[in-house]
Structures are given as C-alpha cells and as structure tokens.
Amino acid sequence: MKSKFNIAIAAIAALTMSSCYKVMDQVPTDRYTDAVVWNDPVLLDAHLAELYACVPVMIQDATTLMNSWSGAPMNVDDNGWTATMGFSAQMEGTVRTNEITDEAKYNFGAQAHLLDLKENGIQANGTELQWWGNAYYTIRNLNNFIERAGESSISNVEERIGEARFLRAFCYFAMVKRYGGVPLITKVIPIDGDSSMLFPKRNTEKEIYDFILSETDDISKILPGAAEAGRANKWAALALRGRAALYAASIARFGTQQLNGLLGFPGGDDVSYYQVAYNANKEIIDGGGFALYNGDADKVQNFKNIFLKKGNSEAIMVKQHSGKGFMDGGSNRWSWDMVECPRPNVWGVGNYHGPYLDFVEEFELTNGSSGVIDRTYTKSRLWTMDELWSDRDPRFFATVWTNGTSWAGALGGTLGADKIDMHNGIMSRDGQLIDGRYDSYEGISAVGDQLVRFKEGNVTNTGFGLMKYLDPTANNFNWFCESTTDYLIFRYGEILLNYAEAAFELGKDGDALIAVNQIRERAGIAGLGSVSREKIRHERKVELAFENHRYWDLRRWRTAVTALTRTYTGIRYIYDAASGKYRVDFIDNIDGRPKTPTFPEKNYYFPIGQGRVAANPNLVENPGY
C-alpha cells in the first residue's frame, strides 16, 4: 500500500488540502492575489483552514497528507513513503506507534521497514515517523500567514494569527519530542538570505520547549474560550501547554543533558516545568467547563461513546471527519473503521492490529485487583467467554474485541449470530485437535470466521482486535470507508491524567489521587487508596490506550529501553465440541520473529539525518547515528 516518490517539499505554493471547514470546498485560494486574501475574512479563513490541514501531526502524529493519487506537497514523508488507496495519512500515525510499542502487533504482510524498526530500532537513515521536511514546509507557510495577516485590516485578525501561532507551536512540539533541539525559525527566510538564515544552527531542547510554553501562554490569552469545532481555542492552547510542559519536565527529571544542551535540560529545571504543567491543566479543570463524559448508564457503552458522540463534554479539540474522501469529491478521510473492524468488511480481513495479551492484562478487575491471567490454572480447565473475561474493567470491552464480542453482521459460528468468532481449532469428542483451514467437525468450521484470512496467510493472531473508535454503524463495505468519527486531539481524560502526574511529581499526592480516582470512577472500577508513580502511569496506559500516547510516554519517562526490549504474548481459543466451551492456549513470542524487539538507548532521540547534516554544516547529528 505504499510507494516511493521524490518530491520537492521546499516548493512554496498555495495549498489545496483537507481542512476542518466547508469553505475549503467553495474557495480555491490559489486563484486570488495576496492583497485580496489578506483583507477578505472568508479567504483568510480558507487559507488558515489549509494550514490546519498542513499539521497532520495533531492527528495521531501523521507526517503526511493523503490528498491526491500521485503525490503533492506533504503527500510524502521524509523517507519518500506516501500513504495511498485505502490508508489515510491521518490513520497512519498511530498505526505506526501501535506497531513499535507494547500495545499491539501489525497483523498483515511483511513490511520490512516496520519489522526492522521494531527489531533493531531507529537507524541513521531515519524512520517513517520523521517530522522535519514537512514540518519546515508547514512552518514557513505559518510564518508567512502570521506576518502577512499582521498587516490585515480584518477586525478579528489577532484571533486568526493566534490560531496560526498555535499550529506553529504544535509543529515545534512534534519536532522537539522527536529530535530534541532543532532550528527555531519564526520568520519567513528569503531565498537570498545570508548563510546564517539559510543554514541555521540547532537551538537547544530547552529553548524549543520554552518557546512553545511562551507561545501557548500568550495564545491562551488571545483565543476565545469557544470556537468552531476543529479550531484551536483558549483551552486547546492550554492543553498543548500542559502536555508540552509535562514532556519537558519528564525529560528534565529522567533524562540527561547532551551536546551542550541541544539535548536535555540543566539540572533542577524539572520542578519548574512540572509546575507549569500543573497550573495549565488545573486552569482547564477549574475554568474550562469540561467534564468526563458520563452520558450512558452502561459503563462499556459510555466509554465507547467518548469517541463516537460528537461535541460531548470531554472534547477539547477535535479533528472532524466529513465521511468523504477524494474519490467522493471530498478531501477529509479517515479509514480507521475499515482496517480495525472485525469481519465482514470490504477487504475480508479487518483486525489490522492485534493487541497483545500482555497489554490486555493491564485492565484490572472491577474490584481493583490485578488483571493478570494465571496461565497454569487457565490452561487446566475449559471456559465460556463470560467466565474468562467476567468482572473486567469496562474499558477492556470498550477498547478491545475478542472471541464472543458482539458485532452486527459477524458470523458467530460456535457463538451464534452477531458474535465475533476467533476460535482456532476444534477439540473433537475423542480428543483430536482439528485445525486445518478447510477442516470442519460436526458441521462447524475448524477455524472461526474472523481467522479465516489469517490462516490463509499463515499469520498468528493475538486473539484480540481494536474496539476503540470503531463506529458500529459505519459502512465497512466502502473501499475507502470514509468515517465521520471525530478524532480527539485533546480530551478531558488526558487533562486529568496530565494534572495527576504533574501533581504527584510535585509532591501533591492528594491532588493526584483525586484526579486518578475521577477517571476510575467514570470507568466503573474501584478507586485507589493511595497514589504512586507506577499507579498513575498504569492508569494512563489503560485510559489512553491506542490514542497515540504510549510510545511518546515511554520515551519521555526514559523507560522505553526496558519496556520495549522484550517479546509479547497472544492467546488461542480452541473450541471443545463436547462441552461447547473453549480451551485457552498462550502463545509466547506472538510476533513470531527470531529476533527480540528492542529499543536502543540512542532512540530516545531520532537522527537528524545524514542528508540534512551533509546539506547544512551547522547541524549537529544526535549521538549514536
């Protein structure tokens, strides 16, 4: 699904890309002169909408845009890869971080570059997650907007400039969490600029974070408290401020300073950054008017609806999806449903990612006890699905699906209609295991419908799929599966967890405990009697699973070397014909690779890149590359 392109990303041109606003379908801004654009509020908004589209890293850390068949500005990443056909760039970001963290495995195909990344770590030639060339392309356009709009006579232009500054701050946040210090460019560099402008040096990591925090502080005083869905407002600026400050604080506390400050922070900076994070998140909690979503009595459905109900009390900033891709005359596509849903779907597969059993076990029981499965006892008896998964944290059922999960249209086989069937083998009445792709026993296929394509491709399934964000009403038989589900860039649940982490690190255990227990109460599980760093991180792992936090959290805590250098486990359900129950087997090294996944120490920072360092003698490469 990927192909290589060579494209000049430095070209400066008016863009026609996906956007948050309908005006994009009405006004082609490349047909107007500068003088008209900067003094017409409709055209100015249209151009700003284009710039929103140019910050795909807000949406699951995607680094490209899916806006044409053959490539266009930002339709290709720094390694020359572009998302095509059924895959949207907005889906690809989290897809990649899922695959290289401890949440899930990639189920289909042998994409060598991804296997290499998981097994060997990021090498000197970089990774698909790079955000450099496209970042500076976007930053240049944002700088131009900020400068030119500053000359406009439009009445509310300061708010529009504030939005552009927010987008620029987000661009730099996405860069600094990858590379550490990068060149900080806040003005349009002329083509005939001097060498110091054309070949800039890297600023320190501290300078980049301080710029982001200064900008978001200022922006939060400019932007209104309410705005159109999809646009930055005061609370989005504070949410970015709180998230960025927490990252800076973590790196200052757990990291080491290198390259004379290009990486890391001076000793003692951690406390001040934690305080900024605490204050920013507290301001949202106290004054933002947001609340944990609690609109449904059923705790499972309630957690699902955080991601499905538009404009709910938890949404601070979202990426809207129109349900139309470029094939239908639109440019705002998201294909999450199609690739993550169970069968039946248009590809006949679904289940693009399989959550690891090790991750699933992080979901506690409702009484707060550990969710880790006793392997020996579990293998010693037979189970119904209700027996096996009873009393789990409701977030488990809202985050993953497995054998027996209800899904309209699923061919239940051993479980009845509208149930996902993931059994992989039948134990006959005389004790024989029947598990061939085309075998059957007593009229029952040896392989459940959900695993048919896995068996054909000789792929080992983990026994789980992703439920979070899946819309049960979506048309998964559309080749381009244009989802209308909003993507939550910032939500209140994250704010509470950011606040809890900052509070704990500042010694405010009481504040941290209250925030974490609000999350747990909403989820429907027992509250904690005390709080610790480990408990806060565990709650974050479960609550924010598959929302593009885990990979970056492990990096900023400097725990990725330990957490990601390991093998993972899956589960196999074998149907027992005599009892109608299931035998449960555990599959070690579920990825099936001869080499153990690893996270090298040097990967706490991405490489700047050999080509960039060669082209700019003032750039210093990060250690280890």
**How far apart are the C-alpha atoms of 33 and 41, rounded to whole Å?**
14
Query: Residue 457's pLDDT is what?
Result: 66
Record the pTM: 0.92
**How far apart are the C-alpha atoms of 612 and 124, rounded to whole Å?**
11
Any long-range contacts for 85-88 (C-beta under 8 Å, 24+ apart)?
85/1, 86/1, 86/335, 86/338, 86/339, 86/347, 86/479, 86/480, 86/481, 87/1, 87/335, 87/339, 88/325, 88/333, 88/334, 88/335
User: Element (H or E) spanning 235, and its range?
Assistant: helix 234-254
Helices 41-53 & 157-179 angle (0-180, nearest 10): 10
Spatial CB neighbours of 64, under 8 Å, sequence gap ≥ 6 = 56, 74, 75, 76, 77, 81, 82, 83, 89, 92, 134
Q: Distance between the two ends of the chain, CA-based, in angstroms?
A: 29
Token pair for residue 105?
Answer: 């495995």
622 DSSP assignment: P
Beta-sheet pairing, 444-445 with 464-466: unpaired
Going from N- to C-terminal start, the domains of the chain cover 353-472+567-587, 491-565
CA neighbor of 251 nearest in space, from 169, 165, 181, 203: 181
Q: How many CB atoms lie within 10 A of CB 295?
A: 12
**How far apart are the C-alpha atoms of 315 and 61, rounded to whole Å?**
18
**How far apart are the C-alpha atoms of 556 and 285, rounded to whole Å?**
24
**Residues 506, 251: contact at Cβ < 8 Å?**
no
Give one DSSP letter per residue of 1-61, joined into a string.
-EEE----TT---------SSGGGGT--GGGS-HHHHTT-HHHHHHHHHHHHHT-GGGTTT
**How far apart are the C-alpha atoms of 446 and 463, rounded to whole Å?**
16
444 DSSP assignment: E
- Mean pLDDT in each 10-residue stretch from start to end of the chain (625 residues)? 26 31 41 81 94 86 62 62 50 68 81 77 86 94 97 94 98 98 97 87 99 99 93 98 99 98 96 99 99 98 98 95 60 76 84 94 98 98 98 98 95 89 97 94 95 79 95 80 85 99 99 99 99 99 97 98 97 98 97 91 96 95 97
**How far apart are the C-alpha atoms of 505 and 533, rounded to whole Å?**
8
Amino acid at 571: I
Query: Residue 9's pLDDT is what?
Result: 23
Spatial CB neighbours of 115, under 8 Å, sequence gap ≥ 6 = 593
Query: Residue 478's pLDDT is what?
Result: 73
Would you say how long the chain is, in residues?
A: 625
Beta-sheet pairing, 315-319 with 81-83: unpaired
